[in-house]
Amino acid sequence: MKLNDIRDNDGARKERMRVGRGIGSGKGKTAGRGQKGQKSRSGVAIKGFEGGQMPLHMRLPKRGFNNPFGKDFAEVNVGMLQKFIDAKKLDAKKDIDHEALKAAGLARGGKDGVRLLGKGEITTKVKLVVAGASKGAIEAVEKAGGSVEVIDKGQPEHEKKAARAEANKAKKAK
C-alpha cells in the first residue's frame, strides 16, 4: 500500500447534481424548476412564504411593546451589594462602578450602565458611581455612611433632536 493507492470507499463521496445539462441527464431543460413564474428565475427567495398557509410569524401571538428608546440597565440591589462585599468579591474602600460590579459578577449586561435598587440592607460605607439609583437605594447607602454619585450617560438622540427643534423655533420667533 502506497499513499497514491489510497482511495475513498465506493459511494463515500457523491458528486453534486449538474442541472440544465441536457435531457439525458434527468435534470435538463428546466432543471427541475418547472415552467415559468417567479420561482423558475434565479435569485428568488420568498422568505416566510408557506404556500398560502398563514405564515408562522403571523400565527404566533404578539405581546407587549418594545420601546426603541428604552434604556438597558444592569439592576443591582443594595442587599446583593452587601453580600458581595461580605464575601470579599468587592472592595468597599475603592469606588464601586460598573466595571467593578462586572468584574465581581454582580452586574450582567446593562449597556447603559448600572441602576442601583433599594432591596435589602447595606451596612458598609461605600462610594458608588452608577448611571441611576432609586430614592430608597440612595437613602440606604447614605444611612450607612456612604455616597451615591449618579453619572449622566448623555441624552438620547431623539431628546437632543427635540431640544434642537425647540431652540430653532425660539430663534425664529424672535
pLDDT in tens, 117-131: 989 899 889 999 998
Q: How many domains does the chain have?
A: 1
Count of H-run helices and E-run strands, the chain: 5, 5
Residue 137 within a domain: yes
8-33 as b/e, with b when 16 or more CB fall inside 10 Å? eeeeeeeeeeeeeeeeeeeeeeeeeb
pTM listed for this prediction: 0.54
Residue 21 within a domain: no
Residue 12 has which C-alpha cell?
463515500
CA distance 54 to 58: 7
pLDDT tens readout for residues 5-40: 999 999 999 999 999 999 999 999 999 999 999 889
Residue 18 has which C-alpha cell?
449538474
The closest alpha carbon to 129, from 138, 119, 139, 120, belongs to 138
Residue 133: which CATH number?
A: 3.100.10.10
Residue-number span of the structural domain to which 82 is assigned? 74-150
3-state class percentages of the chain: helix first, strand second, coil last, to nearest 5: 30, 10, 55
Residue 126 within a domain: yes
